[in-house]
Amino acid sequence: MGQILDGQQLANLRACNLKKEVADLKKQDIKPLFCVINIGNDPSSKIYLRTKKRRAEAIGIEQRVYQLPVDEKQVYLLALIDQLNAAEEVNGIMIQLPVPEQINLSEALDHINPEKDVDCLTPSNVGRLWRGDHFVEPATAHGILALLQHYQIGLRGKNVVIIGRSSIVGKPLAALMLEQDATVSILHLKTQNLSEYTKRADILVSAAGQAGLVTANMIKPGAVIVDVGINRIAGKIVGDVDFAEVAPQASYITPVPGGVGPLTVESLMEQVVKLTRRNHGR
């Protein structure tokens, strides 16, 4: 049975350290504040917003949610972003995904000041990520690297396979792993013969959002398995990996829930504090 990569435990540990850091900033009259723009009433977004708010409050970070109607017009969204960009007390801005179809997400992200871009999704910050001189990192990718580092799982020279090419997980994670001298392959659901690639992976990350996608016959013995998938099946939350089948063959494996998820929220808070320090010359 592979060793469990306990993301919840690590998230709690890092939160304790971050809470002390925030307390020290407040003694200098520096108050971390980030704003979340939520458009519409997506149920998953509502859950995520509540989770973020609880974590922020526990650490001492202020989170403001700007709830916009599902039929909000692009021009008003851009005006709100301009307002938050100009507000000196705001250290971070993010748009909760998904957004309604009438919203041009690319244009909205382009509008966010890169110095307040918590998600690392503005064009300039994405470019910095691939250039290797970034000052903010996408939360899930940051959390995955923190988890591997905590368990002393090195990346140098390792063959890493990532299933999923999203701008939130797959692509930025590949960039960050390349920085640490891993050899990275990005797969997706249109890739033919997935197992030909996954069987060669020292570290396999699945962020495809398809329950049961990764089975035991797709991994090599002793591989490290990181499951980013969140799928709801018959009222239960499961990942992309068939945990019961794959765990006996893995050296390390993340559970779902309790693996990457808690670290995503914690890492978001860390990015807020990082931007707060930067915006105040700290």
Do 188 and 95 share a structural domain? Answer: no
Reference 61, options 25, 85, 13, 8; nearest CA is 25
- Is 96 part of the annotated catalytic residue set? yes
Sequence-distant (6+) residues with CB within 8 A of 173 are 138, 140, 141, 144, 145, 162, 205, 207
Beta pairing partners, 214: 241
Q: Specify the pTM.
A: 0.95
pLDDT surpasses 90 at 99? yes
| Average confidence (pLDDT) over 185-201 | 94
The number of beta carbons lying within 10 Å of the beta carbon of residue 258 is 16
Q: Which pLDDT value is given to residue 280?
A: 92
Task: State the CATH number of the domain containing residue 169.
Answer: 3.40.50.720
Cis peptide before 98 (omega within 30 of 0): yes
pLDDT tens track for 238-265: 999 999 999 999 999 999 999 999 999 9
Residue 109: domain span? 29-113
Do 238 and 143 share a structural domain? Answer: yes
pLDDT surpasses 90 at 234? no
pLDDT tens track for 60-92: 999 999 999 999 999 999 999 999 999 999 999
Active-site entry in 6, 117, 119, 240: 119
| Average confidence (pLDDT) over 257-282 | 95
Q: Are 7 and 254 in contact (CB under 8 A)?
A: yes
Residues 185, 183: Cα–Cα separation, whole Å:
7
Beta pairing partners, 117: 93
Dihedral (CA of 63, 126, 156, 4) sign: positive
Do 104 and 145 share a structural domain? Answer: no
- Is 52 part of the annotated catalytic residue set? yes
pLDDT surpasses 90 at 1? no
Residue 172's pLDDT band (cuts 50, 70, 90): very high
Task: State the CATH number of the domain containing residue 97.
Answer: 3.40.50.10860
**DSSP E strand boundaries for 123-256:** 159-163, 183-187, 203-206, 224-227, 231-233, 236-238, 252-253
User: Would residue 276 count as lying in a domain?
Assistant: no
Do 164 and 91 share a structural domain? Answer: no
Do 251 and 192 share a structural domain? Answer: yes
- Is 119 part of the annotated catalytic residue set? yes
Q: Percent of the chain at pLDDT above 90?
A: 92
Active-site entry in 6, 52, 171, 274: 52
Reference 162, options 211, 127, 220, 202; nearest CA is 202
Active-site entry in 6, 63, 96, 171: 96
User: Would residue 227 count as lying in a domain?
Assistant: yes
Beta pairing partners, 231: 238
R_g of the chain computed on alpha carbons: 19
- Cα angle: 121, vertex 124, 127; to 5 degrees: 90
235 φ/ψ angles, rounded to the nearest 5 degrees? 80, 0
